[in-house]
Structure 1
Amino acid sequence: MTAKGTRRAIHGEWTKLRTVPGQLWTVVSLTGAMVGFTALIAASAGEGQSGVLGPAALSLSGVYLAQTAAALVAIAVVSCEYPRMIRTTLAANPRRTTVFLAKAAVTAAVVLAAALPAALGSLAAGRTVLSGRSGFSQLPLSSASLWRAALGTVVYLLLVALLSVGVALVVRHAAAAAGAVMALLYGPYLATLIITMPEHVLHRVQKFSPMTAGLAVQTTTGTGTAPLAPWTGIAVLAAYAGGALVVGWGVLRVRDA
């Protein structure tokens, strides 16, 4: 794997992404969705809601919608070539590991570029909406926990995108990949709302579900979305993303279409 070949592969993946307007709008929507949804949740939150989510998590709650955009960006980078174009890509660059790394790198770069302003804008929007309402606590801007939650949210969105790259490489169909990722993220959470579970079972589901475990990084008070330490929760999501990438890389190595 040469540096020149890697740069060429990355440039090719970036060219495919930027020449499809719909995909670029999906990248932009990540930031807009997170900021707008945070403002909406903050405006509609009942008194004491910050005590449930935590003050930082409430100001970053747009992540529940933004993660969908992050997943769709990643799926678009991978799935746009199936079933017709992948053979052309592999003929132009037969080093399949290079193709895999290029897709993951482009996905990570564009999601990171959108997630950073999304987290900052979400914090600003949430704090602005909540500042005029009584009964809502706010962490000071000097709080290390606040910035850990914001940085962790960026990492969370990045890992969701990489998880989606792996799933898309395995499934090789945009709609099916999107459905699989959404089921993986939201399914266990919805199950905890619908099914009555003993507390120890509920906590186990929360600890091993990628969304609830990963979003524990936003916790500043209480147990948050899962009874896990913030970075431990991110590690759970990273394990899901890493596993999906390894399987996706393996599938790309042995199959063309």
Structure 2
Amino acid sequence: MSRAVRGEWTKLRTVPGQLWTIPGLTAAMVAFTALIAAGARPDESGTLDPTALSQSGVYLAQAAAVLIAVAVVSSEYPRLMRTTLAANPRRGTVFTAKVVVVAAAALAAAVPAVVAALFAGREALSSYAQLPLHSGQLWRVTLGTAAYLVLVALLSAGVALVVRHAAAAVGTMLTLLYGPYLAVLIIKMPEHALHLVQKVSPMTAGLAVQTASGPGTAPLGPAAGISVLAGYAAAALAAGWVALRVRDA
């Protein structure tokens, strides 16, 4: 197993275009958070959530998490996967190694990204009242956002194993993440339908870790929301394992 993991990591880090997806996630998270926070103003009711705004860069950074997973999985199709399976015919080992590398790469990028974004957002919102740095709620939002990015990467890995084409995998994931959210913005829905979409959409459910910073502020609580996303990721990985197991490379 360790040899398989090293092999997957070597393939990721030796292709510059793929390796840059890791620091790209961190840079996107911090830069987008700083831009959104700098332009944030209280809404009509006079409320503003500095805690959620300090992690708002996740809306762009999740695209980099998708690219990390697709770089690990889909870059080998259609030719190099045969070489990989010839060198290591145990498909379960290959599958596990890819999942481990995707999770580790996403985590290595996400943790510094959310911490740096936290301080960038706090600096941009320094004129507003904010939670103290020792606040448990503040770090729940921050570390929950990191967990969200890792789960998005794992979901992307499962989708990439099923789709097997890099562009198609990226397109599928971006549609899955942003599609329901954009539909909610464009289509005027009844409140019950809106809440249903927010509960079942991977992005809006998973990001309950930061939007549900107080009672009643989102259709799902933080634990329930991240569980929905984890369920999507588990189902996608299961489908990806079946696809790798039964389909010709």
What is the deviation of 1:23? 1.0
Residue correspondence of structure 1 range 186-197 to structure 2 within 5 A: 186-197=178-189
Aligned match of 2:223: 231
Match of 1:253 in 2: 245
SS in 2 for 1:142: coil
The size of the alignment, in residue pairs, is 248
In 2, Cα distance between equivalents of 1:168 and 1:232: 26
Query: Which of 149, 167, 171 is the matching residue for 1:157?
Result: 149
Aligned positions of 1:161-172 closer than 5 A: 161-172=153-164
CA shift in 2, pair 1:60/1:110, >3 Å = same
Give unmatched runs, 5+ long, in structure 2: none
Give the alignment partner of residue 42 of structure 1, picking from 28, 37, 44. 37
Unmatched 5+ stretches in structure 1: 1-5
Amino acid at match of 1:155: A
Match of 1:104 among 90, 95, 99: 99
Structure 2 counterparts to residues 104-253 of structure 1, below 5 A? 104-131=99-126, 133=127, 136-218=128-210, 219-221=212-214, 223-224=216-217, 226-253=218-245
Change (3 A) 1:106 1:52: farther
Aligned in 2, Cα 1:51/1:144: closer, same or farther, shift over 3 Å?
farther
Q: Return the alpha-carbon distance in structure 2 between the equivalents of residues 193 and 123 of structure 1.
A: 27
Indicate the percent of aligned positions where both proteins have the same amino acid: 68
CA gap 1:49/1:14 in 2 versus in 1, 3 angstroms: farther
Cα RMSD, aligned residues only: 1.5
- Give 1:57's match in structure 2, choosing from 37, 47, 52: 52
TM-score by length of 1: 0.93
Q: 1:49 to 1:105 in 2, by over 3 A?
A: farther
Structure 1 residues 45, 167: CA separation in 2 closer, same or farther (over 3 Å shift)?
same
Residue 54 of structure 1 and its aligned partner are, at CA, apart by: 2.7
Q: Structure 2: how far apart are the matches of 1:37 and 1:96? A: 39
- Asked if structure 1 preserves the Cα contact closer than 8 Å seen for 2:25 and 2:65, the reply is yes
Correspondence 1:85 to 2:77: no
Offset at residue 256 of structure 1 (A) = 2.7
In 2: Cα distance, 1:113 partner to 1:50 partner:
38
